[in-house]
């Protein structure tokens, strides 16, 4: 988990807290005087460490929970990240007509090649907004 620093506006005390990515914007009171604090630039950013927000990766077709998992999935697929090393291949340009952001998790797990029964394309069957099962395309009934 990343470490964040909160600075008190009244007494200028700085407090470091190790919190999850989701908790980084939670309100914190100063440990010295109890006044509101402001979150500062992440401590780890100074050392070049980036936080990773779990997301559904539309390019990989599955949920990705951390950077090492993404590297392992890409290695298993035999693909490489495109784009710059900071932002990857995502289009974060605010002026772009179809801005792509991080997609919410969908419950789609990656099935490694070694675990697949045959070398057939795997397809996730979505029910109620979540992937309920993943089956080889050859097992789907034709419509």
Strands 37-39 and 62-64: unpaired
Q: Give me the tens of pLDDT residue by residue for the chain, a chain 143 residues long.
A: 677 788 888 888 888 878 887 887 787 888 888 888 888 766 555 665 666 788 888 888 899 998 889 999 999 998 887 765 655 555 555 666 565 667 888 888 898 887 766 555 666 666 776 776 766 666 666 54
Give 11-79 as a 3 state SS string. Answer: CCCEEEEECCCCCCCCCCECCCCCCEEEECCCHHHHCCCCCCCCEEECCCCEEECCHHHHHHHHHHHCC
| 112: DSSP letter | -
């Amino acid at each position: 988990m990343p470490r964040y620093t909160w600075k008190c506006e009244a007494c200028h005390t700085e407090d470091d807290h190790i919190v999850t990515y989701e908790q980084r914007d939670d309100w914190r009171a100063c440990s010295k005087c109890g006044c509101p604090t402001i979150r500062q630039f992440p401590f780890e950013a100074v050392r070049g460490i980036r936080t990773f927000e779990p997301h559904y990766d539309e390019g990989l077709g599955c949920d990705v929970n951390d950077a090492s998992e993404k590297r392992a999935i890409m290695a298993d697929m035999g693909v490489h990240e495109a784009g710059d090393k900071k932002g990857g291949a995502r289009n974060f340009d605010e002026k772009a007509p179809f801005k792509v952001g991080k997609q919410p998790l969908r419950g789609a797990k990656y099935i490694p090649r070694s675990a697949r029964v045959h070398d057939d394309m795997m397809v996730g069957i979505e029910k109620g907004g979540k992937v309920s099962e993943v089956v080889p395309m050859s097992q789907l009934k034709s419509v």
